[in-house]
Structure 1
Amino acid sequence: MRAFRCRVCDNPLFFENSVCTSCGTDLAFSREERAIVPLVDGGRYVDATGTEWFVCRNLNLSGCTWLTRTAGGQCSSCDLTRTRPADGDEVGLPQFRVTEGAKRHLVVELDTLGFPVVGKHEDPAGGLAFDLLSSVDENVVIGHADGVITIDLAESADDQREKVRVSLDEPYRTMLGHFRHEIGHYYDGQLVTDGPLRERYRELFGDETADYQAEIDRHYRDGPPADWPQRYISRYATMHPFEDFAECFAHYLHICDTVDTAAAQGLVTVSPSAFTSFRDLVVGVWMPLSTALNQINRSMGKDDLYPFVIPDAVLDKLDFVASVVPGTDAPGASEGNAGAARP
């Protein structure tokens, strides 16, 4: 995440701050300015054009600090949530708060990289919506279908998520990771498989028309191919081209966000914008940075922060993913890929 500072006292701020811990100023996040701004008169902000903005009505419900144009209204991020726990759900509501925080993080990153974020309330056919469901009284399957991303709120709890991670033998499982993977499925359909990049997509990921359920059954029956570490980012990616793309899309977001954060915090000495392809950024910055971060985690007795190895075949896939950002050229287009990685 970017390094933010209070506009009143210049104190360092974090993305989630609703109050400056130094001067006590009430704060909100302006999606338009991509900045944390000071509030006056109990939750109002006036931008440079004289336009009035108001803090989202869901501040106390979900911790949302984003601005909206309507007093008492909800922000553009909250508009994307189609289903949430009922007001009386004592288990689901605290989990909803954590999950909404991860969703806001995702939306900011998509904005930064240039991906369109259009809700189903604006575009019922092609838009995006989130069903954030509590699995206390029903079975919830995390997934994507026709622009609707379903998330199990129970995975916001560390113990539940870790239990699932261990049972599935996964190296990494986080709420933000779920959002990044599922949004990859959405943009696969929106930007890739029905467009001019389809041929290159199939060269890298395979034929997406392969029977999805049959491939899933094969995976859980036979496991991944023996040589999967040379061709895929994870075992899960071997199931079907859709899953391979979504896994690579998630890692593209992991890498972009972490490198941008490291640059904002002064942890890397080379600007990400100096690289002419995403592949070069991964090799030149991400690989040494992730190695250092893994070593730091080990110094604290923790598991590796990034427990993955990126082979050459996956580098090609990541470079392709970087090329699908709207406004970029064909795979490997240096200007587009460098722009996608710029803080």
Structure 2
Amino acid sequence: MRRYACPNCSNEVHFRNTECVNCHSRLGYVPEWDRMFYAMSDDARWHDGATAYKACANRPEIACNWLIEETQTEDHCLSCRHTLVIPDLSAPGNRDHWAALEEAKRRLFYSIEKFQLGVGNLVNQPETALRFEFKADTLTADGKTRRVLTGHEHGLITINVAEADDPTREKYRKAMGEPYRTLIGHFRHEVGHYYWDDLVFNSPRLEAYRAIFGDERQDYGEALKRHYDQGAPAGWDATHVSSYACAHSWEDFAETWAHYFHIVDGLETAGWYGLDGHTPDAGLNRTPGGWSDAGPYGAQEFRPLMDAWVPLTVAMNAMNRSIGLGDFYPFVLSDTIFAKLEFIHDLIHDRG
């Protein structure tokens, strides 16, 4: 994630901000330009001189700060319009959970835009577009709980809104031994399945994929049952980014895909704050030194990303320990994992 400044007063603002705390300008983000726009009053328009923009319809609902060109017929921003189902807002906490989910999803769409990955056409080919449903567990007439399972099926990603509740997610994180169980992690993992269908299945890369991640034709249901019954094999961390990645080839790909997104977005953030080993720059709207104009998202070669990432995580782990916290980055990346990450990198950058 890059750094942003208020276009009116140059005060630093953040990706989620709807208002500048210094000059109180109304802020809006335009993903096509990766820029913050400002308006001085509630009835003023956001514009860049030639083009006027309007707020996403979800701005008053959940503080979505993304903008749309005023001439568009769409009422929702690029990210929000891909959500087909939201939770029952009359239930306590669900509005906050929905807001948290959409905020994480906007960060996902930020990366999708930076990588120039497609999300499909919701109007003309909705069955192949990237879609989201946010649902909650419900009680049946006999008093039993009908669980909503987080997962992906043919472009439709379902997420249980309980994942947006911090205590609930922490309980699951500890129970399942997942050091990085986060909302953004869920989104990045699930879209990995979507892009496997789009970029790997029935493509010239399928055999190379099988050589690195394993054969996806293995029975998925049986593989998951075995994983939950027996757990990951000893020494799994030498070959996989998580224990869950051991369950099946598809899960290995999705976990590695999510991890690659973590790395690239983390490096972009580090670059904008001068923490990536390059010369810091006090300007808030700069290009990080040492990368292309597109930053780490535009890096054509994989190894320089790792050369920057590994020492950064060592330093961040040391920083966390110095203030009494657990490791910021509790992973060790082996050559096998590097090869998997490099496959993801090449898949994203060479898909043309």
Flag whether TM exceeds 0.5 (same fold): yes
Cα separation, 1, equivalents of 2:45 and 2:175: 47
Aligned length: 327
Q: Secondary structure at the match of 2:169?
A: helix
Cα separation, 1, equivalents of 2:105 and 2:124: 19
Q: Deviations over 1:292-328 (max 9, x none)?
A: 1112122222221211111110100000001111545
Could you tell me the TM-score, scaled by structure 2's length? Answer: 0.88
Q: How far does residue 280 in structure 1 lie from its aligned partner after superposition?
A: 3.6
Q: Secondary structure at the match of 1:125?
A: helix
Q: How far does residue 74 in structure 1 lie from its aligned partner after superposition?
A: 1.7
Stretches of structure 2 that go unaligned for 5 or more consecutive residues are 140-145, 279-289
Cα separation, 1, equivalents of 2:259 and 2:8: 37
Q: How does 1:88-167 map to 2 (within 5 A)?
A: 88-135=90-137, 137=139, 138-167=146-175
Cα separation, 2, equivalents of 1:43 and 1:296: 44
Cα separation, 1, equivalents of 2:334 and 2:77: 41
Q: How far does residue 85 in structure 1 lie from its aligned partner after superposition?
A: 1.6
Q: How does 1:176-187 map to 2 (within 5 A)?
A: 176-187=184-195
Q: Secondary structure at the match of 1:130?
A: strand
- The question of whether the paired residues in 1 share the 8 Å contact of 2:317 and 2:329 is answered with yes
Q: Could you say which residue in structure 1 is the equivalent of 2:10?
A: 10
Aligned pair in 2 of structure 1 residues 80, 43: CA closer, same or farther (>3 Å)? Answer: farther
Cα separation, 1, equivalents of 2:15 and 2:124: 27
Q: Could you say which residue in structure 2 is the equivalent of 1:333?
A: none
- The question of whether the paired residues in 2 share the 8 Å contact of 1:259 and 1:272 is answered with no
Q: Could you say which residue in structure 2 is the equivalent of 1:334?
A: none
Q: Could you say which residue in structure 1 is the equivalent of 2:65?
A: 65
Q: How does 1:13-28 map to 2 (within 5 A)?
A: 13-28=13-28
Cα separation, 1, equivalents of 2:81 and 2:32: 16
Q: How does 1:161-240 map to 2 (within 5 A)?
A: 161-240=169-248
Q: Secondary structure at the match of 1:298?
A: helix
1:300 to 317, 323, 345: 323
Q: How far does residue 33 in structure 1 lie from its aligned partner after superposition?
A: 1.0
Cα separation, 1, equivalents of 2:44 and 2:313: 40
Code of the residue aligned with 2:8 in structure 1: it is: V
Cα separation, 1, equivalents of 2:94 and 2:138: 8
Q: Could you say which residue in structure 1 is the equivalent of 2:31?
A: 31
Q: How far does residue 155 in structure 1 lie from its aligned partner after superposition?
A: 1.3
Cα separation, 1, equivalents of 2:130 and 2:192: 12
Cα separation, 1, equivalents of 2:238 and 2:187: 26
1:80 to 56, 69, 82: 82
Could you tell me the TM-score, scaled by structure 1's length? Answer: 0.90
Cα separation, 2, equivalents of 1:127 and 1:99: 19
| Between 69-78 and 30-39, the greater mean CA deviation after superposition | 69-78
| Between 270-279 and 93-102, the greater mean CA deviation after superposition | 270-279
Q: Deviations over 1:34-54 (max 9, x none)?
A: 111112552521234x22210
Q: Could you say which residue in structure 2 is the equivalent of 1:44?
A: 45
| Between 63-72 and 33-42, the greater mean CA deviation after superposition | 63-72
Q: Secondary structure at the match of 1:217?
A: helix
Cα separation, 2, equivalents of 1:43 and 1:265: 32
2:302 to 245, 260, 278: 278
Stretches of structure 1 that go unaligned for 5 or more consecutive residues are 330-343
Q: Could you say which residue in structure 2 is the equivalent of 1:288?
A: 311
Cα separation, 2, equivalents of 1:81 and 1:121: 13
Q: Which runs of 4+ in 1 moved over 4 A?
A: 272-276, 326-329
Cα separation, 1, equivalents of 2:16 and 2:341: 29
Cα RMSD of the aligned pairs, angstroms, is 1.9
